[in-house]
Chains A and B, each alone.
Chain A
Amino acid sequence: MKTDADPAQVFMRRVLRLLRWRLWLAEKLQPTDWQATLLWAALAGFSGALVSLVFSALSEGVHEFLTGSSAGVVESMRQLPWWACLMVPAGGGLMAGLVLQFGKRLTRDQSSTDYMEAIVIGSGHLPIRASLVKSGAALFAIGSGGSIGREGPMVQLAAVVASFLGRWRRFTPPQQRLLVACGAAAGIASAYNAPIAGSFFVAEIILGTIAMESLGPLIVAALVAALTVRVLTNAAQLYHVPAFRLGSPWEMGPYILLGVLAGAVAPWFLRTLRTAERLFVATKLPLTLRLVLGGLMVGGLAVWRPEVCGNGYSVVVDILNGSIRGINVFGFRHIWLAVLVIMACKWIATAASFGSGAPGGVFTPSLFMGASAGYLFGTAVHNVWPQGAADPRAFALVGMGAFLSAASRAPLMAVIMLFEMTLSYDIILPLMLCSVLAYYTAKGIEDQSLYSESLKRKAAEEPAPALPVGRVADLMKSDPPVLAATAQFAEIARVFLSVRVNNLYVIDEAGRFLGVVSLHDIKPYLGDPEVAGLVLARDILHEDFPRLAPEQTLSEALGAFLGITAERLPVVEPGGRLLGSLAKGDLLLTLVEKGRPAAAR
């Protein structure tokens, strides 16, 4: 009776009961670090899909406001008088420029907004204000019909939300980078309704690895994002295409040529974009005026061919479904001529938009270039050898994948993306062949992809990369939960309740590491108040627990984790003082990152 009335005993019994419940739940649900990572990846996917949808709706709203039409970009530009065709993209450029210019005041001292940079050479930190300013400018550039894709800002925003989640949860840099990568995968999956390609886009292009440590969370984020978009918008595959049949194996011959052709053209397309960027900068005009000039160029082309506006999606759909309007020459309608003219104009328009600094993506414009090139090539083959290219539209479809593979240097992602966007399995064999050939051809011509150049440039500008150089101290998390050697059982239980760890570090008055108390040891005795009243941390200390020195290499740290089940190891300085802890998850993520090819970094 006496012990029941003792408040300290009552408190201890409550704490022990709570700990028993927590352990029971933990055992039933088995929440490991990786499960927690997948959960956060799912949240990044969900929030990424939401911001992508919001951006998409806003860009359509801006376009409707500027053109007064809710029809597609190309159709609404077609309905405008010539002067409005000129003014709308120029006005959009002006607005984008003003947003960027005034936004600069709000975003002074903020780091780069580039999500790839944040993942590859940064700490996963993306500044929110600067990203919002850039996305606001992108709304005007895209909404006004700029020849640029909206998927870029959608991915950017999804990555920013993921970065915010990581900072909120105080993730370590490797975890934060992975979460931002998950956000990017979610953005791609939302933009193209392509969850597998979204995962592989980030894995192949940005991370340069398909190790499950990173691919698993990417897949979860992408699928949650795709699911969210499908539930909220009834989205289906992006391109509805007729069934294409491979008539005979001989048709693979022309496809081989198409692969080489796409691989040869794609580097030139990228070079044009970079040249345009240099030319615009060489004008020495302020950014706003450069954007206006870029808009005027797009508008000027749109007066004649409104198809140059937007990301090229609707034109690709028309090419694939054979509904593109031909050009009359000598009384004959030539579809191929129309495609050739649109392709040339679109090439210039994309260079103008991109070169002027309009924030947006060139992923979808690349698909357009591939579709046009493929269609033109297929038509040419069909005219010479009809059996070799029974339907030039199939060549357009395969050309998209080949061009994307060559431009992004990610053939696997290109094949998967094309398949997901069209759900057409008929073209998978020529698509695989062309994508691989285009990849090698492009690589032979130029060792730079759509994404690698800016990353390499920024990596070169960064003298001290945020990526850990390979010492335990670089990855260590300071201030781990600790216990005094004289901590009583109730205190031990309370700390175990407040933090999700299996081992608590015990230190002396001087902060020297003494050993660990294991949750596994005390678990069977949580119902014993007598044991609880008697045992101190020092009584159940594992003094032989492995420990790391801050100067040890990550490979040595990995060796220390072998053979033990601990998820963290203490980092102890030579004098014995506890400095922090190193998590196995962080270590594996970093080693995966460090192991990727140099080109991806």
Chain B
Amino acid sequence: MNSPTDLIARPDAVVLDLPASSGDAVMQALQARLKDLPAVTDAAGFMRDLLERAAVSSVCISPEVAMPHARTSAVSRLMLAVGRTAGPVAFDAGHPGVRLVFLIGTPKVQVTEYLQLVAGVSRLLKKDKVRAALLAAPTEADFRAVLARGLQE
């Protein structure tokens, strides 16, 4: 249940062409996809923790990829939402051109699961071919297919 594939199985877990103008706005848009889930016990707290974590240190793992995350008591299980922005978004001064965003929420006790998820997604996005395919995917189905294939390899 904690693999990236399982976590993005929900229809609204993936969103393409996010019309976002800033990192915070992207995070808010993705968090909105999760906030109505029963596992989110405090939607506002979840958002607050995401923003606070992003303010402490960069959440970008490459020029094009950001992974905003929060270990928070506002969620009761691990959750993931994935978005592709319509154009480059500045997440912080060092990362002005982010296109792919993986938003993670983790209950405070699930350290191992959190690290597994972060490492899994990081390894996937390290591959130039996968990143390029995700950026070029014309539909959500294609996007999901690239993700699923990449995660299986």
Contacts and interface: CB of A to CB of B under 8 A. Distances in A.
Contacts of B112: 521
Interface stretch (A74-82, A143-151, A178-186, A540-548): A540-548
Interface string B114-131: 110011001101100000
Given A521-B112, A535-B115, A530 B126 contact: yes
Contacts of B57: 486, 488, 536
A542 B108 CA distance: 8
B56 A540 contact: no
Contacts of A522: 115
Given A486-B56, A486-B57, A488-B57, A530 B122 contact: yes
A486 B54 CA distance: 12
A432 to B, nearest CB: 57
B71 A538 contact: yes
Contact of B111 (A486, A524, A528, A542): A542
B128 to A, nearest CB: 12
A533 B108 CA distance: 20
A541 B112 CA distance: 10
B69 interface: yes
Contacts, number: 54
Interface string A454-494: 00000000000000000000000000000000101000000
Chain B contact residues, majority secondary structure = helix
A410 to B, nearest CB: 52
Interface string A104-116: 0000000000000
Nearest to B70: A539
B133 to A, nearest CB: 18
A534 B112 CA distance: 15
Interface in A503-524: 518, 521-522, 524
B32 interface: no
Given A486-B56, A534-B61, A536-B56, A541 B118 contact: no
A340 interface: no
B118 A521 contact: no
By CB atoms of chain A within 10 A, which of B56, B114, B115, B125 has the most? B115
A541 B111 contact: yes
B71 A539 contact: yes
B109 interface: yes
A: interface residue count bin: 20 to 34
Nearest to A521: B111
Contacts of A538: 53, 56, 71
A531 interface: yes
B119 A533 contact: no
Contacts of B67: 534
B52 to A, nearest CB: 10
B45 to A, nearest CB: 16
A525 interface: yes
Contacts of B118: 531, 534-535
A534 to B, nearest CB: 5
B82 to A, nearest CB: 16
A594 B71 CA distance: 44
A244 B38 CA distance: 87
Contact of B119 (A524, A536, A542): A524
B34 interface: no
A524 B67 CA distance: 20
A531 B114 contact: no
B115 A534 contact: no
Nearest to A518: B111
Given A521-B112, A530-B125, 10 more contacts: A486-B56, A521-B115, A525-B119, A530-B119, A538-B53, A539-B114, A541-B71, A541-B111, A544-B108, A544-B109
Interface of B: 53, 56-57, 59, 61-62, 67, 69, 71, 108-109, 111-112, 114-115, 118-119, 122-123, 125-126
22 contacts: A488-B57, A518-B111, A521-B111, A521-B115, A524-B119, A525-B119, A528-B123, A530-B62, A530-B119, A530-B122, A531-B118, A534-B59, A534-B61, A534-B67, A534-B118, A535-B118, A538-B71, A539-B69, A539-B114, A541-B71, A541-B108, A544-B108
